[in-house]
Amino acid sequence: MPTPANYRKVAISLAFAGALPTPLPLAWLHKFYLGQYLWGVAYLLLAPTGIAQVACCLEGIWYLSQSDEAFSDRFPKSPLAANFGSSPEVLSNSASSTSPDQVAAQVAKALRDLDQLRQEGLMTEYEFEQKRRTLLEKIS
């Protein structure tokens, strides 16, 4: 199953691939992957000048220096960031300032989201069971 960490790794790989001199410019790929289409077009137009390749290398280094959470916060429009909005980590951070009923409601919503990912084939049964147990520990 694709996780935020894997999503970040793909973005890093695409950014560094865009920095390589190739006959077909790849400098725009990571921007499209992250949902930044206007920047992707700009990088595609600047690719023949070499500026986009330098920017790709710098962005690859920048993505490497970020944590998975910071990366997900920075790129909220990314498809996976939306799917992991109710991750156990987010719930654990918000559990201290909410009532037990609110935590239970958040866990229920997260379980429904996880089940939807499992039904769509984006998560294995094993991964689903691990996340389910982690979430249920939040309300016990």
Give how many domains the chain has, as a whole number.
2
8/73 same-domain check: yes
pLDDT at 97 exceeding the cut of 70: no
34/94 same-domain check: no
Q: Is the CA virtual torsion 70, 73, 78, 80 positive or negative?
A: positive
Q: Of the candidates 34, 57, 80, which is a domain's last residue?
A: 80
Q: Using one digit for the tens of pLDDT, what is the confidence trace for 83-92? A: 444 444 444 4
3-state secondary structure 24-83: CCCCCHHHHHCCCHHHHHHHHHHHHHCHHHHHHHHHHHHHHHCCHHHHHHHCCCCHHHHH
Q: Using one digit for the tens of pLDDT, what is the confidence trace for 24-59? A: 888 888 888 888 888 888 988 888 888 888 999 999
Residue 88 contacts residue 136 (beta carbons within 8 Å)? no
25/71 same-domain check: yes
User: Higher pLDDT residue, 120 or 81?
Assistant: 120
Q: Of the candidates 80, 104, 127, which is a domain's last residue?
A: 80
Residues 6+ apart with CB under 8 A from 25: 18, 44, 47, 48, 52
User: Higher pLDDT residue, 140 or 93?
Assistant: 140
Provide the CB-side half-sphere exposure for 38 (13 A, CA).
0
13/75 same-domain check: yes
